[in-house]
Amino acid sequence: MYIEQAYKGFHEGWRYVVGIMSIFIGWQVVGMLPLMGTLITKSKGQVMPTDISGMAALLGSNLFLFLMLLSFAFGLLATFLTVKLVHKQKIVDLTTSRKRVDWNRVGFAFLLWAIISIIMVGADLVFSPEDYVFNFKLEPFLYLLVIGVLLIPIQTSCEEYLMRGYLMQGIGILAKNRWVPLVITSLIFGLLHLGNPEVEKLGYGLMVYYIGTGLFLGIMTLMDEGLELALGFHAANNLTTLLLVTSDWSAFQVESIYRDISEPQISWNIFIPVLVIYPALLYIFSKKYGWKNWRERLSGNIQAEESIN
């Protein structure tokens, strides 16, 4: 019943067109003004860098990260305002089919994936120590920690509320089924990462990972009838990545504890999460939360509006 929560607000097609435009302006126009203004000021008439490495070098990695993540706060606010003002829908109905947000679910998914991520990084440090250098510097790391804890959950929530929330519900009630929004939002989520430096370095094969991650998050949302697990997982994924390992070719070029100095290449390691780890996580969640009727929840038709209102 998660997608059907959109019926509790106004859901005409034109409202989603206006909503998407409003969210884009809030996120990518208004939200980018602090970063662009600071870059212009710091450039002092010189050519302003447009790549992540150049902007981080000009501003300092922590300031650049703060301003980059700040844009997601504007994006999340724009999403919430669009839902409230354009669709007259409650935020809780955008979040879950339950009567209230289940924060225990958010916390469980966060802790589970944070622990697994730390173990995987630790294992790689043990078996491939030549690929890493110890990069820990107390003062910049403490600033990084504060920025990450405060803004990474906002960044990931912005993406989840837009992808698995607003678009999943909107496309679902327009398509009248569940598989179309699942596929489309997964593809959009992957394409949004197309400009990441990892893709430029490793090639388009990495899109299998991003699209696969979007599919995993979408399946989790539809099976659990809410965003809670996706919110927790996504926040843990980005926060552990930010704090533990950085590299010269990643989206997060910051003062993490370790720096990856290996020469990156597409290998089976890229696909292990999509083919092995994500299915295992879905199995764990299914057992814990009693998921049933997989076919109906992932590909069934949307119930009529009259059965909701």
- Domain boundaries defined on the chain: 3-307
**pLDDT per residue over 98-116, tens digit each?**
999 999 999 999 999 999 9
Q: How far apart are CA 231 and CA 208, in angstroms?
A: 21
Sign of CA dihedral 75, 78, 79, 80: positive
In whole angstroms, give the CA distance from residue 267 to residue 125.
18
pTM attached to this predicted model: 0.94
The amino acid sitting at 198 is E
Average pLDDT over residues 139-164: 97
Q: What is the pLDDT of residue 306?
A: 66
The 8-class DSSP code of residue 65 comes to: H
Three-state secondary-structure class, residue 249: coil
Q: How high is the pLDDT of residue 199?
A: 83
d(CA 277, CA 273): 5
Q: What percent of the chain has pLDDT over 70?
A: 99
pLDDT in tens, 32-71: 999 999 999 988 877 888 888 888 888 999 999 999 999 9
In this predicted model, what pLDDT tens digit does every residue of 244-268 receive, in sequence order?
999 888 878 899 999 999 887 777 7
Higher-pLDDT residue of 40, 232: 232
Tokens of 32: 């980018």
| Over residues 159-175, mean pLDDT | 96
